[in-house]
Chains A and B, each alone.
Chain A
Amino acid sequence: MKKNKAMIVCFILPCLIALAAVYLYPVVRTVLMSFFAIDSVTADMSGWTFYGLGNYSRIFNSSTYRLAMWNMLRIWLVGGIFTLSFALLFAVILTSGIRFKKFFRAAIYLPNVISAVALATMWIQYIYNSDYGMLNRILGAFGLKGVKWLGTDMKFWAMLGAFIFGAVGYYMLIFISGIERIPQDLFEAATIDGANKVQQFVKITLPLLKGIIKTNITFWSVHTTAFFLWSKMFSPIGTESTTIVPVIYLYDTVFGSQGNAARDAGAGAAVGVTLAVIIVLIYAVMNGLLRDDDLEF
């Protein structure tokens, strides 16, 4: 028994040490940093000055931070509704026994295989471009005036549309796995009882997908909170308020922005902590709202 304990320790210790070094230490350090005034993210702790809630006060009073949070909220809410709705719709269609199911599933998932940089470039240069973009060509074919899709009014929505296009396939696959888990007997019994497809979806599929929906919403929240690349691609030279999100704000704060070399690692850490808290809150709320342990099948 004693020997076994030693073996257990031997096997677990490397993992624990690695976890503490690459996960716990950065997390604890980031939380600590958020209460100190620090310029450089790697500054020695002896050079830190205690700042209390000063960093939090700074970011909450920053109109740019508030705008970044607002943009993130819109991505989460509007993007979430569209992405998860389309994903669920496609998942239901693809599990309903249609022909060429595998082709459609692969086609919808394909954007996830393509590099996001290439995908964003495609949207910016070939779809949204004012002169030769696909959308304005289509509008032109109907005799309609072209739209400045990447002008200040439309840029956020253009970015969100492109992002949704790339994200739907991922969530669709998760929904498909959830739907395929539901026993077919339930649908057959419902069909015999006279339930149509819509009724089956509302009364059987949806309730039994609660756990999957919760998972998808949590994944989507994490996805949204870490939103960075699309924002960078849609504002490639300098940060723009139409596309700014908290991680971009964090990046500019920690590493300095275009034309301003000032760095504030403490404020950056505060942004990181608030984002982490938001994810935890969303997860807790989802757990409270969508309990998936009341149904067994």
Chain B
Amino acid sequence: MKKKFLSLLLVSAMAVTMLAGCGKEAAPAASTPAPAESTPAQEPAESTPAEAPAESTPAEASGDGAADYSGVNLTFWSMWNSNEPQGQVIQEAADAFKEKTGATVNIEWKGRDVKQIILAALEAGEKIDIFEDDYSRISKTYVDFCYDLTDMAKAANYDTVSFKCFNDVATERAGFLPCVTEQPQVGGVFYNKDIFTDCGITSVPTTWDEFLTACQAMVDKGYQPLALDGAYADFTFAYHLDRYLGEEAIKELALNGGWSQNEGVAKAAQDIIDFVKAGYLAENAPDEYPSSQNKIGLTGKVAMVVCANYVCAEVNNNSGTEVNWGMFNYPAVEGGVDPSNAYAGANSLAITSYSENPQAAFDFLLFLTTGEFDQKMANTASQIPADPRNTAPAIMDGTVEALNATENPLSWNMGLGENSDLGAAFGDVIRNLYEGKFETGEEFAAAMDALY
């Protein structure tokens, strides 16, 4: 009897932990934190502007509303799961597309692991018409298997219904337009507007000095200015470094070293050393992801975080609150370079070079990423719409402006990732910087050089 009871207990424990491990969160799935690989999923913010979606997609505009694709079967490998908000909108769009054009879109839900399996499938010539992944990988890694969308995009005036920066970058990398933007992301400073209002901060800081003044105002009012999880320390510092040097210079340093010879590095590091010493980091920051960013929602006392837009939905989901989010671009530094650019990435959709129905596939992509279904995706998954004519949900306030202002989007970690071998080591030195382990910026620069 005892044995049976024990066995039952163990099996129950295993079942419960398996369910806990594999189960869906109570709130809709938060994003995979990797850049441009996913967007947080969340219920639409209540205050989402109910503006009418764009009237028609280019495909619709080009004809009587829809082509006849009866009998056409499209296979779509999605990076989402069918129970995620993004997956549900995609399925809804596929159903509506079938009703409208007669084309059947068979969706295979591959989840985030699509990036591990898609290349092998493409190389094997598997029956895939459309696939979904980060636009960097599409335009670099899978480019040989991507259909050239340039002509179809031109015919459909795709430029007018998409963010130019993503098209430009993808085209520059691939040599042609290889993908359609589905879920744009933008990085910057995300903040609790209520705290800014309470502190009398009426306009967002645009320079580092203004940023420090705002931080001091928050500290004076009993707030903790900046949340920082160790996992995003390199992203946060790289943003600051970018404002001094620009991404190209950071790439060069990452690949070849010479950090100590560059004055901007020491200056940027010294700014952070002073920032930490002034007590502008949230308590216990840099913390273990996502503890620090969660404090924005959990305590209501932490004001800002430097991240990409998915952080808003993550914090809201994790903390069960509705933070009054705002966003501004990372501030400029004195004597630095062009501060208008922001980190931007996107989950995008590509058509295989061997697809037998590229036009039907392209029409479906536009159907999904513009107009009604794009608005629905933005609202349902709390993300930036891919069609600039649509309206971002309230939670994404400020993000569309930042994207529109970005001509040359910064890559994740602004070039630090260029050195794939030392990327992890850079992260540790930068975390040491935020942990207050360097007395001077020069010490930090020397520590970076010591890695080579």
Contacts and interface: CB of A to CB of B under 8 A. Distances in A.
25 contacts: A41-B119, A42-B119, A64-B421, A102-B2, A102-B6, A106-B6, A110-B10, A110-B13, A115-B21, A115-B22, A125-B291, A128-B288, A130-B284, A130-B288, A131-B283, A238-B234, A239-B423, A241-B428, A252-B420, A255-B115, A255-B116, A257-B420, A259-B411, A259-B417, A259-B423
Interface stretch (B84-92, B136-144, B176-184, B381-389): B136-144
A221 B435 CA distance: 34
A260 B284 contact: no
A184 interface: no
Contacts of A44: 123
A258 B412 contact: yes
A4 interface: no
B123 A259 contact: no
- Prevailing SS type, chain A contact patch: loop
Given A64-B425, A113-B14, A240-B230, 5 more contacts: A106-B10, A114-B17, A130-B291, A236-B33, A241-B427
Contacts of A239: 423-424, 427
B410 to A, nearest CB: 11
A148 interface: yes
A40 B123 contact: yes
Contact of B423 (A67, A151, A257): A257
Contact of A238 (B13, B141, B231): B231
B243 interface: no
B155 interface: no
Interface of A: 40-44, 62-64, 67, 102, 106, 110, 113-115, 117-119, 124-125, 128-131, 148, 150-152, 235-242, 244, 252-253, 255-263
A166 B104 CA distance: 48
A44 B134 CA distance: 24
Given A102-B6, A261-B140, A241 B412 contact: no
Contacts of A258: 34-35, 412-413, 417, 423
A235 B2 contact: no
A124 B229 CA distance: 13
Give the 3 A-B CB pairs with smallest separation, nearest first: A259-B417, A237-B231, A259-B412
Contacts of A256: 115, 137, 141, 420
B432 A152 contact: yes
B376 interface: no
Interface in B420-452: 420-425, 427-428, 431-432, 435, 451
B284 A148 contact: yes
Nearest to A131: B284
Q: Which of B33, B234, B421 has the most CB of A within 10 A?
A: B421
B435 A151 contact: yes
A64 B422 contact: yes
Contacts of B136: 261
Contacts, number: 137
Contacts of A115: 17-18, 20-22
B50 interface: no
Contacts of A260: 417-418, 420, 423
Nearest to B411: A259
Contact of A152 (B35, B289, B431): B431
B385 to A, nearest CB: 25
B120 A130 contact: no
A113 B15 CA distance: 9
A233 to B, nearest CB: 11
Contacts of A151: 230, 286, 431, 435
B192 to A, nearest CB: 19
B305 interface: no
Contact of A41 (B120, B234, B421): B120
Given A124-B288, A131-B283, A118 B417 contact: no
- Prevailing SS type, chain B contact patch: helix
A53 to B, nearest CB: 18
B287 interface: yes
Contact of A118 (B21, B35, B416, B424): B21
B232 interface: yes
B1 interface: no
A206 B45 CA distance: 65
B124 interface: yes
A113 B120 CA distance: 34
B109 to A, nearest CB: 20
A263 B115 CA distance: 12
Contact of A259 (B9, B232, B413): B413
A152 B124 CA distance: 43
B421 A63 contact: yes
B116 A150 contact: no
Contact of B120 (A42, A106, A241): A42
Nearest to B34: A258
B170 to A, nearest CB: 13
Nearest to B11: A113
A258 B238 CA distance: 14
Contacts of B416: 259
Given A115-B17, A259-B412, A259-B413, A244 B424 contact: yes
Interface string B108-133: 00000001100110011000000000
Contacts of B428: 152, 240-242
Contacts of A253: 420
B424 A240 contact: yes
Contacts of B124: 42
Given A259-B413, A261-B137, A67 B425 contact: yes
Contacts of B115: 255-256
Given A118-B17, A260-B418, A150 B288 contact: yes
A263 B137 CA distance: 10
Interface in B322-339: none
A242 B20 CA distance: 28
Contacts of B17: 113-115, 118-119
Nearest to B121: A42
A44 B33 CA distance: 33
Contacts of A106: 6, 9-10
A12 B105 CA distance: 44
B411 A236 contact: no
Contacts of B432: 152
A291 to B, nearest CB: 37
Contacts of A117: 21
B143 to A, nearest CB: 10
Contacts of B451: 63
A128 B18 CA distance: 22
A43 B288 contact: no
